[in-house]
């Protein structure tokens, strides 16, 4: 059975088959060849995979991100951050990184963060003399923090397939996200001092308060959403709905950057992306059901534990596997397919599911930044009119920083487990 799945999987993958269709064909063919089970179970499992209220949070977060991307919340957020750090060495670039951190906490989406912040900050940084290569690399890479800083759509998907707490994983992503953002800022300050990049003019406290008043509605959203989840006021699904309603009210009624006539187009864009993600999820969950019913995770665990004696070695090997798979397929899809297969192995090595989930999310962040399937690279190409090679060359220093942070999170579990252990366990 394993041979059939592997052969079909990679054959269809290299034929260019869409990932969801490829998963369904693999599941159906394997079921027909190796079992006597009726194929009527396929639509049943597709339905069961989507019969989960938590999935409602995905389209809500996607729609909220689209609203904020098309509105002015991102621009006002940049102004707020820049008013506080613009006078530091590399202040404008620091403001861009911090804006990505904040917007990631608003949208939960890496591509939305690159579009919203990068479209404003990349031209501003280049005009201020920060260098084209650095400006593109920084905003493309910092935009990937959308998958690490909660709320995060890949985190929600991981919790669904691994049956873990979304609130715990959200909280576990805060410190690693700040670690990566802080590392990008430290690198920016180093280059700013080395190259003598100009600073923004000092802003008086009166001006700062005026800018903060203008952008306070955007600053409050992550406080409301994440604070509500951790305080038990509402569930992650309800939090996603709150973020959508809040962003619509702010953009339509307060900032008035979006009109009622723009809402249908925002909904259409969100529906297309949500449909793609949910179709992939349902197909992956159906394949996972087949593999689990045939006890393949136990067989894989037996095989791994027979040849690997250390949990650390296992985590490194899995990370390398996902990085390699990221060159031939989307890492989010790889996570949905393979993570449940390693669930039994994680238990045998005593590896916390939350710790493993953060490692997977960081590897997914790599996937957004590495060709040929790095979605952030394609978005940066569209924003800057540069080739894939030019954009890819600009992000290598930041990939090195990200790799260093990945190793720290892997070998020091408390970086990700400290907050959940302190507040939720």
Q: What is the dihedral of CA 74, 79, 83, 86, to 10 degrees?
A: 80
Give yes or no: residues 20 and 143 share one domain: no
Cis-peptide, bond into residue 151, ω within 30° of zero: yes
Give yes or no: residues 113 and 10 share one domain: no
The pair phi, psi for residue 129, each rounded to 5°, is 90, 20
Give yes or no: residues 11 and 151 share one domain: no
Give yes or no: residues 353 and 341 share one domain: yes
Give yes or no: residues 299 and 413 share one domain: yes
Give yes or no: residues 213 and 299 share one domain: yes
Per-residue pLDDT at 160: 85
Instruction: Judge contact between 151 and 361, C-beta under 8 A.
Output: no
Structural domains counted in the chain: 2
Give yes or no: residues 159 and 28 share one domain: no
Per-residue pLDDT at 358: 93
State how far the Cα of 317 lies from the Cα of 300, in Å rounded to an integer.
14
Unique residue bearing structure tokens 């393949």: 296
Per-residue pLDDT at 201: 67
Give yes or no: residues 386 and 332 share one domain: yes
Give yes or no: residues 134 and 33 share one domain: no
Per-residue pLDDT at 414: 92
pLDDT in tens, 249-307: 988 888 887 888 888 888 888 888 788 878 877 887 787 788 777 777 677 777 777 78
pLDDT in tens, 303-359: 777 788 888 888 888 888 887 776 656 667 778 777 887 888 888 888 899 999 999
Per-residue pLDDT at 182: 93
Give yes or no: residues 15 and 103 share one domain: no
Give yes or no: residues 142 and 231 share one domain: yes
Give pLDDT tens digits along the chain (425 positions).
Answer: 777 877 887 788 778 777 788 888 888 888 888 888 888 888 888 888 787 777 787 788 888 878 877 777 777 888 888 888 877 888 888 888 888 888 887 777 777 788 778 877 888 888 888 888 999 999 989 888 888 888 888 888 888 888 888 888 989 999 999 999 999 999 999 998 888 776 666 777 888 888 888 888 888 888 888 788 777 788 878 888 888 898 889 888 888 878 888 888 888 888 887 888 788 778 877 877 887 777 776 777 777 777 888 888 888 888 888 877 766 566 677 787 778 878 888 888 888 999 999 998 888 888 788 876 677 887 788 778 888 788 888 999 999 999 999 999 999 999 999 888 876 65
Residues sharing a CB contact under 8 Å with residue 302, sequence separation 6 or more, in sequence order: none
Domain that holds residue 3: 1-39
Give yes or no: residues 76 and 30 share one domain: no
State how far the Cα of 348 lies from the Cα of 305, in Å rounded to an integer.
8
């Amino acid at each position: 059975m394993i041979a059939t799945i592997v052969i079909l999987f990679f054959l269809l993958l290299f034929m260019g088959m869409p990932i969801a269709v490829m998963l369904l064909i693999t599941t159906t063919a394997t079921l027909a060849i190796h079992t006597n089970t009726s194929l009527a179970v396929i639509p049943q499992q597709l339905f069961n995979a989507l019969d989960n209220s938590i999935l409602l949070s995905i389209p809500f977060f996607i729609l909220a991100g689209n609203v904020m991307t098309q509105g002015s919340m991102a621009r006002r957020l940049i102004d707020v951050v820049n008013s506080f750090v613009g006078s530091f060495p590399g202040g404008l670039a620091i403001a861009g990184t911090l804006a990505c951190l904040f917007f990631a906490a608003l949208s939960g989406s890496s591509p939305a963060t690159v579009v919203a912040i990068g479209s404003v900050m990349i031209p501003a940084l280049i005009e201020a003399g920060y260098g084209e290569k650095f400006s593109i690399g920084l905003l493309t890479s910092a935009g990937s923090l959308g998958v690490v800083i909660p709320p995060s759509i890949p985190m929600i998907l991981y919790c669904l397939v691994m049956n873990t707490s979304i609130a715990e994983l959200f909280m576990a992503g805060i410190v690693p996200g700040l670690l990566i953002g802080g590392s990008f800022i430290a690198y920016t300050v180093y280059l700013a001092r080395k190259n003598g990049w100009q600073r923004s003019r000092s802003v008086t406290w009166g001006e700062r308060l005026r800018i903060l008043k203008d952008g306070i509605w955007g600053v409050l959203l992550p406080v409301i959403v994440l604070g509500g989840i951790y305080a038990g006021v509402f569930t992650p699904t309800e939090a996603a709905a709150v973020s959508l309603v809040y962003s619509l009210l702010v953009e339509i009624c307060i900032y008035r950057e979006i009109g009622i006539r723009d809402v249908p187009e925002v909904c259409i864009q969100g529906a297309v992306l949500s449909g793609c993600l949910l179709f992939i999820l349902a197909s992956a969950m159906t394949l996972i059901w087949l593999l689990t019913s045939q006890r393949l995770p136990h067989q894989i665990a037996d095989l791994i534990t027979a040849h690997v004696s250390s949990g650390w070695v296992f985590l490194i090997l899995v990370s390398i596997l996902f990085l390699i798979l990221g060159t031939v397929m989307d890492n989010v899809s790889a996570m949905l397919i393979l993570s449940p297969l390693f669930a039994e192995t994680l238990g045998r090595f005593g590896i916390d599911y939350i710790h493993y989930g953060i490692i997977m999310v960081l590897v997914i962040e790599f996937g957004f930044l590495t060709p040929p399937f790095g979605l952030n690279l394609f978005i940066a190409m569209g924003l800057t009119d540069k080739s894939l090679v030019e954009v890819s060359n600009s992000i290598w220093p930041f990939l090195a920083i990200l790799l260093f942070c990945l190793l720290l999170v892997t070998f020091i579990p408390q970086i990700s487990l400290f907050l959940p252990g302190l507040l939720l366990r």
